Amino acid sequence: MNDIIKILEDKKIGKILENESIKKYNTYKLGGKAKLIIFPDNIDKLIELLAIIKEQNIKYKVIGKGSNLIFSDKDYDGILIRLDNLNKLEINDTKIVVGAGYSLVKLSLETAKLGLSGLEFASGIPGSVGGAIFMNAGAYKASISELVEEVKVIDEDLKVKTLKNNDLHFDYRKSLLQEKRNYICVEVTLNLQHGNVDEIKEKINKRRMRRMETQPLEYPCAGSVFRNPIDVPAGKLIEDANLKGKRIGGAMVSPKHANFIINYNNASAEDVYNLINFVKQEIKNQTGIELKEEQEFVNWE
């Protein structure tokens, strides 16, 4: 890996961290160490980095804010790429052009200040804009897909390609980027609407208060663990199964919100993994419904 570091340094790709704890880079606070975590300076440097990775046949993964990832406790024998420096923001009337590494919460608050409506639902989603596109993030019966005009990605040939909304196959917590894992979102164009600043801020504040009352934000977690089945929220199924407060090791089904699993006491990744599978099995046994994770397991192979 020293040879790779030398190449990356010579090409001035961006900040490079060696043998860095992954716990700092995901909201569950789980994981071992990554051989390298790299923060490319811009899109061109990201493409250069991907070309080197491809040429050297190195394992890699692009991650956002780590708010929907469950890392194993193993060391990651490869490169994790963070897009924090892809953080440009251009606002032209109601059209927003934003880098994939920009914070979704920050974008929601910045647009609210300008009286732009549409992203109020996102004010409590602690991910990146790119991650939101990947997952088609949503809350309060709204989702990012409703606002997307186009998305720029780096494709498998390391070319920048523009995809229109219809190209992205958006569905509930789904997008084309989940099918094409070698596509990397680098920039997003959104269309918002003019609104009343005070009304937008009031809506955001009310939702923040509601989250604080109903979600275990005081513990490391990654939001909703399971996608909602068509007929009933996953949280209600888990609560009705009397699984609130269920613990395995340092992981617990939140007593506040049954669709949250929290790292309440130095949980291992195995604790979280085993508790997720326990809940799935219990719900299947009791209701016949097979819950599907909204979160992604990383480095478990």
**CATH code, domain with 248:** 3.90.78.10
Tell me if residue 55 is catalytic: no
Give 3-state DSSP helix, strand, coil % of the chain, rounded to 5.
35, 30, 35
> Is 196 found in the same domain as 96?
yes
Among candidate residues 173, 175, 187, 254, the one labeled active-site is 173
Per-residue model confidence (pLDDT) at position 213: 86
User: Do residues 53 and 96 both lie within one domain?
Assistant: no
Q: Is residue 205 part of a domain?
A: no
Mean pLDDT confidence for 246-270: 97
Confidence tier at 60 by pLDDT (50, 70, 90): very high
Q: Would the pLDDT of 93 be above 90?
A: yes
Cα–Cα distance measured from residue 72 to residue 106, given in angstroms and rounded to the nearest whole number: 29
pLDDT at site 162: 98
Domain check: are 54 and 100 in the same one? no
In the chain, the N- to C-terminal Cα span, in Å, equals: 21
The percentage of the chain sitting over the pLDDT mark of 90, rounded to a whole number, equals 88
**Does 100 share its domain with 176?**
yes
Query: 162's torsion region: left (phi>0), alpha (psi -120 to 50) or beta?
Result: beta
If pLDDT is split at 50, 70 and 90, which confidence band does 2 have?
confident
Q: Give the CATH number of the domain where residue 156 resides.
A: 3.30.465.10
pLDDT digits (tens, 9 = 90+) for 125-156: 889 999 999 999 988 889 999 999 999 999 99
Q: Between 2-10 and 43-56, two packed helices, what is the crossing angle to 10 degrees?
A: 150
- pLDDT class for 214, splitting at 50, 70, 90? confident
User: Does 256 lie in the same domain as 165?
Assistant: no
Indicate whether 126 and 144 sit together in one domain.
yes
Is 224 a residue of the active site? yes
What's the rounded mean pLDDT across residues 256-267?
97
Q: Indicate the average pLDDT of the chain.
A: 95
Whole-number pLDDT of residue 70: 97
Same domain for 49 and 7: yes
Q: Show which of 145, 171, 200 is a domain's final residue.
A: 200
Tokens of 278: 């326990």
pLDDT at 210: 85
Half-sphere exposure of 70 (CA within 13 A, CB side): 27
Query: What is the reported pTM?
Result: 0.93
- Same domain assignment for residues 11 and 66: yes
Instruction: Please tell me the distance from the alpha carbon of residue 262 to that of residue 250, in angstroms, as a whole number.
Output: 8
Q: Which domain holds residue 230?
A: 216-292
Q: Where does a domain end: 172, 200, 228?
A: 200
Per the model's pLDDT, the better-predicted residue between 51 and 206 turns out to be: 51
Judge if 49 and 96 occupy the same domain. Answer: no
Q: Identify the pLDDT of residue 230.
A: 87
When divided into structural domains, the chain yields a total of: 3
Per-residue pLDDT band at 13 (split at 50, 70, 90): very high
Catalytic residue among 48, 120, 187, 294: 294
18 shares its domain with 109: no
Q: Does the residue 208 lie in any domain?
A: no
Q: Which of these three, 54, 82, 110, is where a domain ends?
A: 82
Four-point Cα dihedral 83, 88, 89, 90, nearest 10 = -140
pLDDT band at 211 (very low <50, low <70, confident <90, very high): confident
- pLDDT, one tens digit per residue, over 101-115 is 999 999 999 999 999
Q: Is 282 part of the annotated catalytic residue set?
A: no
What is the arithmetic mean of pLDDT over 217-241? 94
Catalytic residue among 72, 143, 224, 254: 224
Average pLDDT over residues 55-66: 94
